[in-house]
Amino acid sequence: MLISLMVPCYNEEEALPYLYEALCKVMDECSQYDYELIFVNDGSKDKTLSVLKDMASKDERIRYISFSRNFGKEAAMFAGLSSAKGDWIGLLDADMQDPPSLLPEMFSILQSGEVDIVATRRVSRKGEPPIRSFFARRFYRLINKFTDVEIVDGARDFRVMTRPVVDAILSLSERQRFSKGIFAWVGFRTKWLEFENVERVAGETKWSFWKLFLYAIEGIVSFTTAPLRIATLVGFLISCLSFAYLVYYFIRAIILRIWDDVPGYPSLLSFMLFLGGMVLMALGIIGEYLAKTYIEVKRRPLYIISEDNKKDDSADS
């Protein structure tokens, strides 16, 4: 039984020694498992790489992968997951905000065989700027409303997964990856552990408000094509309203014989609005096709099988 633990690192020279020490301590407690530690250096500008090299020279179980520049945490996680050899694969941040002390419990839950994933969520956001928490909450509300995957509020990337889950995650070969969504999309039996937010042990967060905002948009755009439909809806509404306006003026003029001061104004206005609405609707229709194309282009698998009692038989035939 081999466990791979992978850690994305970007400018984490100060945090890494703490993390390594904590991981060694925890893994010593779980001596029934072999393990490897995979550190992905995401183009750090500080001495992260030399710290990793130093650690790797002293410990055989350490593997490091270093990117040529900063490609972002998503890319680092993908690299780590695709190079992990373990039967179980764990994912955690370098800054100790994902407490390694939870790992033994996570392993023992996986060991029971009742679930395929042990994931974690923060129940508090203390120590985080309130404005960031506020927008984070709104984001989860929005994305869960518009997408058919359920993304748990406060879910961390901190999780341990079995091999089939990781293979499923890697089989989603889309370029623009939004892991929180992908993790939810692949399904599998998941057990959620909760913990209180911990502040990072050293260094500082790599996520500015702006970066998070863009990430949120990325998440919504990757998992729903609903925004492309907005044009159809708005266009339809405008056309209907302008038509109603036209009918109203028509009745007023013909039946009630009330004339406007400026002749031609109501009809002109309603025609213009009607046409505007039609144009918007046409845009929306294009949006629908674009949405379909977008979904096709991602080439996500149609389904993911978690169990099949005669898998090898069907492969032979």
Interface residues toward Mg ion, by CB under 5 A: 93, 95, 97, 200
Instruction: Tell which positions 195-214 bind ligand UDP, by CB under 6 A.
Output: 200, 205-207
CB nearer to ligand UDP: give 78 or 107.
78
CB nearer to Mg ion: give 14 or 95.
95
Instruction: Tell which positions 7-26 bind ligand UDP, by CB under 6 A.
Output: 8-10, 12
Report the partner that residue 207 touches, choosing among ligand UDP, Mg ion, none (CB closer than 5 to 8 A by kind).
ligand UDP
Instruction: Tell which positions 61-100 bind ligand UDP, by CB under 6 A.
Output: 70, 72-73, 76, 93-95, 97
Q: Total residues contacting ligand UDP (rule CB under 6 A)?
A: 17
Check binding of 120 to ligand UDP (CB under 6 A). no
CB of 82 to ligand UDP, least distance (A): 15
Report the partner that residue 163 touches, choosing among Mg ion, ligand UDP, none (CB closer than 5 to 8 A by kind).
none
Cα distances (angstroms) measured from residue 17 to each of 209, 233, 273: 28, 54, 65
CB of 18 to Mg ion, least distance (A): 13
CB of 48 to ligand UDP, least distance (A): 8
CB of 58 to ligand UDP, least distance (A): 21
Q: Shortest Cβ contact with Mg ion: which residue?
A: 97
**Binding residues vs ligand UDP (CB under 6 A):** 8-10, 12, 42, 70, 72-73, 76, 93-95, 97, 200, 205-207
